[in-house]
């Protein structure tokens, strides 16, 4: 397995009840059997994506279109249409606020939040003659993404590139009569289909994640192979599925046990190292939008080590006991530049690398949380390469689906979100014009 999960520090006096966890873990078995059957018969297409290869030719073609003579690639999408791609980009160090463009590679920009100043700043800073845009909306009617797309097309036209629009854009959306698909047809922009039965926040293994992955230089087959390894125990030919053999089932039982044990329960996701920061943000949406229904669910909180040792750790150690902690560790020792100093007061740092200090700090945080009686799960990886990031994403999609079943909610809808969208549209109509 590409990662190693340890939940042993979640149980004991003042922590979670092992008996409750064991009961919940056993309850995942019927759902696991259903998921195993769904993987075989295709009734839940998400579970067939890791083994799929027939869609990758279209992804490769669209990626080649976007990367041809490109100085910058701008990803337009929001929520599930962007966060997975951001996590993939960050895993290979091609997306972080402080990072310059890699030598010989285009700059990558993710405009996932609808901010007028950010949009204007990015578009004003780019050479629009060689800038490309990938527009992603599952529904084809996402207001924020359509507004971004129309703005970008307008800028290209204003710069004199009106007759070359199709060379600057690519689209991923569902089949059918949709605003984004009509826009693409108007300008002859190439389109790759978004699978209709895969929800946006679960879409990272579809073209939504695979096209950006190819543009970023990642191997889509390796990502999906990592995801497939997580599902391998869901093999109906192997007989009954044993929940204890599936880390995602353990995680789901653990999370629901925490939801029933802790007052106002929260889940803190804290990776060590920048390369998993966007992954935590991807998980935050997946968890919140899938489980926050009927008064149920736990609040996902993202943190980043070591920096949040200085902003959050005091609360975690001295504040209310209402959190389940998941800390992601990496093999950091020996990584990075080495410090050199003659100052005797800094001798403890001399000869050490940045990775040595970060590794010592992640170990110290884990030990301190355990010593202070906080329920803690650790997930250890060597590095976030393509198979590992694919495995982690499938783990947490599966964990979310299983947790939803234990809570008795539908993991695939988001009824409360639709109300806000309708109100926003009504307010926009009030502007007239």
In this structure, how many other beta carbons lie within 10 angstroms of the beta carbon of residue 130? 13
In this structure, how many other beta carbons lie within 10 angstroms of the beta carbon of residue 341? 11
Cis omega (within 30 of 0) for bond into 115: no
Give the torsion sign (CA, 171, 217, 42, 28): negative
**323 classed as catalytic:** no
Q: How many residues does the chain have?
A: 433
Token code pair at residue 60? 């490769």
Contact 199, 50 (CB under 8 A): no
Helix (H) or strand (E) holding 100: none
Q: Report the C-alpha gap between 384 and 66 in whole angstroms.
A: 25
Contact 269, 300 (CB under 8 A): yes
**310 classed as catalytic:** yes
Contact 293, 237 (CB under 8 A): no
Q: Report the C-alpha gap between 402 and 27 in whole angstroms.
A: 10
- Residues forming a β-bridge with 110: 75
Token code pair at residue 245? 């053999």
Give the torsion sign (CA, 310, 314, 320, 322): positive
DSSP one-letter code for 263: S
Q: Report the C-alpha gap between 397 and 392 in whole angstroms.
A: 9
Per the residue annotation, which of 163, 310, 419, 430 is the catalytic one? 310
Q: Report the C-alpha gap between 430 and 407 in whole angstroms.
A: 40
Q: Report the C-alpha gap between 275 and 6 in whole angstroms.
A: 21
3-state secondary structure of 199: coil
In this structure, how many other beta carbons lie within 10 angstroms of the beta carbon of residue 185? 11
Per the residue annotation, which of 144, 174, 289, 399 is the catalytic one? 289
Residues annotated as part of the active site: 289, 310, 421
């Amino acid at each position: 397995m590409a990662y190693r999960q340890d939940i042993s520090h979640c149980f004991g006096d003042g922590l979670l009840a092992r008996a409750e966890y064991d009961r919940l873990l056993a309850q995942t078995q019927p759902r696991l059997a259903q998921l195993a059957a769904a993987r075989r018969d295709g009734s839940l297409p998400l579970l067939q994506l890791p083994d799929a290869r027939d869609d990758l030719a279209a992804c490769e073609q669209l990626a080649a279109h976007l990367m041809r003579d490109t100085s910058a690639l701008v990803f337009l999408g929001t929520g599930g249409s962007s966060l997975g791609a951001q996590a993939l980009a960050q895993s290979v160090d091609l997306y972080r606020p402080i990072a310059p463009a890699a030598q010989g590679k285009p700059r990558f920009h993710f405009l996932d939040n609808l901010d007028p100043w950010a949009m204007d700043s990015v578009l004003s800073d780019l050479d629009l003659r060689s800038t490309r845009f990938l527009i992603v909306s599952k529904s084809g009617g996402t207001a924020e993404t359509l507004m971004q797309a129309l703005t970008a097309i307008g800028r290209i036209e204003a710069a004199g590139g009106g007759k070359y629009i199709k060379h600057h854009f690519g689209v991923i959306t569902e089949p059918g009569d949709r605003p984004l698909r009509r826009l693409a047809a108007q300008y002859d922009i190439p389109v790759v289909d978004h699978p209709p039965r895969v929800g946006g926040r679960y879409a990272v293994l579809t073209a939504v994640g695979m096209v950006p992955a190819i543009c970023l230089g990642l191997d889509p087959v390796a990502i999906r192979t990592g995801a497939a390894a997580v599902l391998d125990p869901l093999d109906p030919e192997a007989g009954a599925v044993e929940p204890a053999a599936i880390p995602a089932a353990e995680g789901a039982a653990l999370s629901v046990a925490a939801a029933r044990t802790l007052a106002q329960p929260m889940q803190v996701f804290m990776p060590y190292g920048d390369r998993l920061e966007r992954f935590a943000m991807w998980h935050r949406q997946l968890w919140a939008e899938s489980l926050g229904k009927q008064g149920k669910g736990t609040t996902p909180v993202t943190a980043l080590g070591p920096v949040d040792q200085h902003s959050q750790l005091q609360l975690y150690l001295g504040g209310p006991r209402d959190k389940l902690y998941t800390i992601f560790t990496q093999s950091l020792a020996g990584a990075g530049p080495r410090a050199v100093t003659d100052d005797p007061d800094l001798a403890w740092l001399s000869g050490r690398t940045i990775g040595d200090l970060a590794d010592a700090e992640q170990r110290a945080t884990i030990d301190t949380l355990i010593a202070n009686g906080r329920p803690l799960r650790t997930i250890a990886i060597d590095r976030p390469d393509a198979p590992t990031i694919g495995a982690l994403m499938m783990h947490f999609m599966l964990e979310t689906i299983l947790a939803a079943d234990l809570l008795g909610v539908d993991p695939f809808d988001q009824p409360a979100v639709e109300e806000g969208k309708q109100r926003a549209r009504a307010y926009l109509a009030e502007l007239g014009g």
